[in-house]
Chains A and B, each alone.
Chain A
């Protein structure tokens, strides 16, 4: 669908006064760019379709489940995450250079981009609103423990927290710890325990009982 579908009454009115200001603003820009042949609205549709339905945290969950299941893959992921992740078919924009960071019993990893909203699109899809918001970006580097508490994750005071500020083109994927009582689970079942937040570090993997 090329447009919002809220314009069904069949006449043109260039100022789009029936739209909210941002809808009108974006509509105007898309219209001008299309009229001038600078963009193809079908390409816009294809981009939206990609990130609405094809690329999302299910990709990252498969990477984590593979790492939990296969020590050789985990080692590859640790040493060359870009290649290891590409081997599963996940490449591309905002995932050109990947680094996997592994949670341990001692250390919890948390990812933020204080300068904008850098995020591993190729394995997690588009970032949630809170990830891009000033509260998260401002506080994650100075008081991550209280930020995590707002996600319902209270870590013991002795647990080390390592915050990765994504200031370059490296995109980080947190590999959460494998939940207990999942011995013998296949990758698909394990992937069901891997939440998006656990791959940012604002959550943990689900417990086995949750699957």
Chain B
């Protein structure tokens, strides 16, 4: 979707503000926000792609005014409500008011280390051969899907070169919407800055994205 999250090349946000010796967390609630988000994800009722889509689906005014962990929490609230775990009334009351959906599982404290160390690999076999190979010229399709996608707007319609075939990976566009993993070949595609940003672009700059096969067409 063309959401507020798709930031590449947007202007007006001002300078980057690196912080000397910044802490990992800036408030106690940020720690809990991280932990609660990962623990709730451990129930296994949504994928990382659906949770990313929940974040990018926030209203732009909310997205741009919220800190990152606030974005996480607001998206988590929406996911929990969507799945019937926590209602808006309960959030307003600050306590459980009913039973709600039963979880598939609950992440226990003694499982945390192994669960985090395992992660969630998303490489998958793709039964068909890769359509493109390193060196091929490809165009990123000029598509504007309503749902989740991982092709940034700034790359759409532009021609680049396949640098590497990375293997088969779960397709976020379908996986975010409960439509299956539909794994596809994934490619690193390199664009010149002039192709992306025009004649005045930095001549010594190239930018790459990792693009699923259905994002690309021969150029």
Residues of A within 8 A of B (CB): 3-6, 14-16, 19-20, 22-33, 35-40, 42-48, 50-52, 55-56, 91-97, 112, 114-117, 122, 125-126, 128-130, 132-145, 147, 150-151, 157-170, 197, 202
Contacts and interface: CB of A to CB of B under 8 A. Distances in A.
B109 A40 contact: yes
Nearest to A159: B204
B32 A44 contact: yes
A91 B113 CA distance: 11
A97 B109 contact: no
B94 to A, nearest CB: 4
A168 B212 contact: yes
Interface in B82-125: 85-86, 90-91, 93-96, 99-100, 103, 106-109, 111-113, 116-123
A6 B55 contact: no
Nearest to B170: A169
B130 interface: no
A39 B67 CA distance: 24
Contacts of A116: 5, 52, 55-56
B95 A35 contact: yes
A29 B85 CA distance: 11
Contact of A51 (B9, B13, B24, B90): B24
- 10 A-B pairs closest in CB distance: A44-B35, A114-B8, A168-B210, A42-B109, A46-B112, A35-B96, A23-B29, A39-B39, A28-B94, A93-B119
A14 B92 CA distance: 9
B129 interface: no
A31 B95 contact: yes
A18 B93 CA distance: 15
Contacts of A132: 68
Contact of B25 (A27, A52, A94, A130): A52
Contacts of A94: 119
Interface string B5-44: 1111111011111110010111111011111101110110
A138 B7 contact: yes
A32 B96 contact: yes
A168 B34 contact: no
Nearest to A202: B18
B22 A128 contact: yes
A94 B17 CA distance: 24
B132 interface: no
Given A43-B112, A168-B210, 13 more contacts: A20-B29, A23-B28, A26-B73, A27-B32, A29-B36, A29-B77, A33-B36, A33-B85, A45-B109, A51-B34, A52-B25, A114-B7, A167-B210
B182 interface: no
Contacts of B113: 46, 50
A6 B29 CA distance: 11
B8 A138 contact: yes
A167 B73 contact: no
B166 interface: yes
A48 B35 contact: yes
Contact of B152 (A19, A45, A93, A167): A167
Contacts of A136: 16
A50 B118 CA distance: 14
Contact of A165 (B8, B93, B112, B205): B8
A189 to B, nearest CB: 22
A164 B103 CA distance: 38
